[in-house]
Structure 1
Amino acid sequence: MTYRRTQKGVAILSILANSSSQRCNAFQAIQGFFLDSTNTPRRVIEVLSRGGWSLSAESICHMVQSVTESLKASLKKLSDPGLYAMAYDNLDFDFKTKEPGDQNQGTFSSITTATFIPLTYGTTLDDLRYSKELWEKSSLNPDNPKDSRPPATPDRQYLFERIQERQDSVLQGMEWFTQKIIVDNYLGQYKGELGKMPSSFTLDVPEKTVQYPARAMHLKASVNDDNIAIVKSLEQQAGTSPEWYHSFIRLCHGDLGMQERHDATTESRAIESTPQERLQFLVTIPGGFHIRMACVDAIW
């Protein structure tokens, strides 16, 4: 009850502040974005703007255009050095009908949302200069020499030895995490003595991750051809030059389905003449959650 009263108080004060000065419009701008995203009729928006609850429909349009232009400028800065990764996933909508029947159960639609992730921690173009080398050693390359095939998969003994080498670090990490749960929930006075999680890889100066959302695409990530179109659309939005693909790779994050689709498309497009068309620059990276799912599936 107290929380709801606080919300109402903030809304009333925001409306009063906006009536005194048009520049005090943070609350109205947020409401305007929400109304525009839900396709609220223009007449309803105008009524709410008269009452001080939202911006006018014209102001919302200008605001969206301003944000779009600002995003385009940010993407242009990313594309000049090309130090960014991509990530995308499908977004499904299931529209139910009011009275479903045998012939009309509703409609299902799928779009793809994506984001651009700048590469930080001192990443340079030299760290990405592997497109040509990967293609020369790729098994899909028709001109690939027989002695440049990729190395064989490590045997089981090698994997066990590597796991044993890291066992102590894993146990120390588990112990620290257990202690953290106890301290955070019951023994807050010992928080200063907990220290950092033990790890063989530490970052001296953590950097905040910034993302730039891409334009949504009416494409299905579950279709091979659409996966190609998704990558091309993202590269076009960023404004990457065709020469860039000859030397550098692009990291692309997604789920296991994305990995399978691109494995199939790169195999079928290996006969193309340009690095951009055969997608030799694309290095797919499944998410950690999906990798764990695959591991569990392999065990069972």
Structure 2
Amino acid sequence: MLLTCQELNNHPHVHELLVHSEDLISAIIKHPSRPKNLAHTVTQLIQGIYVHEVRTMASEEGSSHFGALSANMQQLEEFSIKETAQAMKLNAPGLWGLLGALLCEDERLGSNKDVVMSDVPEAVNDYYWDQVEAIELEGFINALTSEGALNIMPCLHVNKKVVLLSIMMQSTNQKSNTLQSIIRIFLQSMHTLQNVVDTLTHIGISISTDAIHAAVKSMSAKSQNAMQDLGQSLLTSYAYDNFDVDLKSHVPIVEKSNDSLKHLTSGLMFPLQHGVTIDDLKCSEELWRKSALNTQAIEQDLPPHKTWKDLLSIHSETEVTRDHHFNAWIFLMNSCTHGPEYFHHFRSEIPPPEVIEEIPLHKTSITAARAMDINNSTVSGNIRAVTELLAQGGIFDPVDFDLESPDISQHVVLCKSI
């Protein structure tokens, strides 16, 4: 009655029972006269708690849904195993702890968190090295340091618990498939055999082939729209580079071996930052009028030819003094950082360098363009690469396409061959 009557929630005896509930339950379970079906009853009660935790995480409010038709690149970029594990531990603490106990992570790690590899029992040490191939490079490097000697094993257990909970969540709600979708996209990019994909799908750690095709189609369409929106804003810079692919044939052929080598071109798009406006780029006529490549340019409009001697007078005396100050600051920082240990404690006394003209930092997003079957090692290849790259950004000759394209005749488009 004390525990079920809401009117007695604040009764001191209720508080005392709740404070000592763990001791009370443990004593009842260990009592020799306990009912025979007590363990089964307790198990059913705990199962209800775990099922509720899984259903809560698998619900739409749990942010674990990855819709194939609404998939976008942002979902891929923002996915993090670490953040997923933290959310699972927060929303399902009971089941998270149970999985840890079943994986024997406490037994493998022990209670001493400051243990180093030389102090680890041989069995645990063997387990550590058995898992080397399965870890990420950053985790492996951290694991080799004295600070994170055993960081690899908690990382592996966390990954396993995330996978197990993700399988349970998808079994509860088919739309709760974020991890399965990420894994399937990775398998798709690695051209994994279909038999392997089907096996992983049946296990529950990958989505179906139809779903991944829908997701890839959705992301491709959204990526193309985003590229055209960015390109047609005219506040975009482009970069492209060549790369080679050897398309080896499975069947031997008596032809030139270099026929399988394809010369392709990759491209990137960068939004212009630091307050650049369209009017800043409206200087096409000015550049052409002063270009040495313009055969009709007036001689007085052409800028004078510069040589290396002009570099000697590019800075005024004040600027040279500033350069000396900066060089002196670099010398002091290097001496107090990498020099003899005696100088290290002087580093905190070095003032920061004087700011002359600071360029603000901006995180620049990079959009990858579609690879182009173009060999840009020739002049005509470079022209084709630039033309097609601009077309992917929504800038093209209206005569060739029955689509709207911004007029760039008065503007400059920044393009770089890497």
Query: 1:141 — aligned with what?
Result: 294
Q: Percent identity?
A: 27
Out of 366, 379, 382, the position equivalent to 1:224 is 379
Q: CA RMSD in A?
A: 3.7
Secondary structure in structure 1 of the residue aligned to 2:211: helix
Change in 2 beyond 3 A, CA 1:31/1:123 = same
Q: 2: CA distance between counterparts of 1:100 and 1:10?
A: 45
TM-score, length-normalised on structure 1? 0.69
Secondary structure in structure 1 of the residue aligned to 2:276: coil
Q: 2: CA distance between counterparts of 1:180 and 1:62?
A: 57
Q: Does residue 1:128 correspond to 2:281, yes or no?
A: yes
Q: 2: CA distance between counterparts of 1:195 and 1:102?
A: 70
Larger radius of gyration: 2
Query: 1:234 — aligned with what?
Result: 389
Which amino acid in structure 2 is aligned with residue 130 of structure 1? C
Taking the TM superposition and a 5 Å limit, the aligned residue runs for 1:148-297 are 148-156=301-309, 158-162=310-314, 165=320, 167-168=323-324, 170-172=326-328, 174-175=330-331, 178=334, 198-203=354-359, 205-240=360-395, 242=397, 244-255=407-418
Taking the TM superposition and a 5 Å limit, the aligned residue runs for 1:10-89 are 10-89=162-241
Secondary structure in structure 2 of the residue aligned to 1:64: helix
Specify which structure has the bigger relative contact order, considering alpha-carbon pairs within 8 angstroms and separated by 6 or more residues: 1
Q: 2: CA distance between counterparts of 1:59 and 1:252?
A: 37
> How far off is 1:144 after superposition?
1.4
Q: 2: CA distance between counterparts of 1:180 and 1:12?
A: 50
Q: 2: CA distance between counterparts of 1:16 and 1:111?
A: 44
Gaps in structure 2 of 5+ consecutive residues: 1-127, 129-149, 398-405
Q: 1: CA distance between counterparts of 2:300 and 2:311?
A: 25
- Does the 8 Å contact 1:176/1:197 carry over to 2? no
- Does the 8 Å contact 2:265/2:373 carry over to 1? yes
Aligned length: 252
Q: 1: CA distance between counterparts of 2:263 and 2:329?
A: 40
- Does the 8 Å contact 1:173/1:199 carry over to 2? no
TM-score, length-normalised on structure 2? 0.51
Q: 1: CA distance between counterparts of 2:379 and 2:188?
A: 33
> How far off is 1:248 after superposition?
0.7
Gaps in structure 1 of 5+ consecutive residues: 256-300
Which amino acid in structure 2 is aligned with residue 168 of structure 1? H
- Does the 8 Å contact 1:176/1:198 carry over to 2? no
Change in 2 beyond 3 A, CA 1:121/1:193 = farther
Secondary structure in structure 2 of the residue aligned to 1:114: strand
Change in 2 beyond 3 A, CA 1:173/1:30 = farther
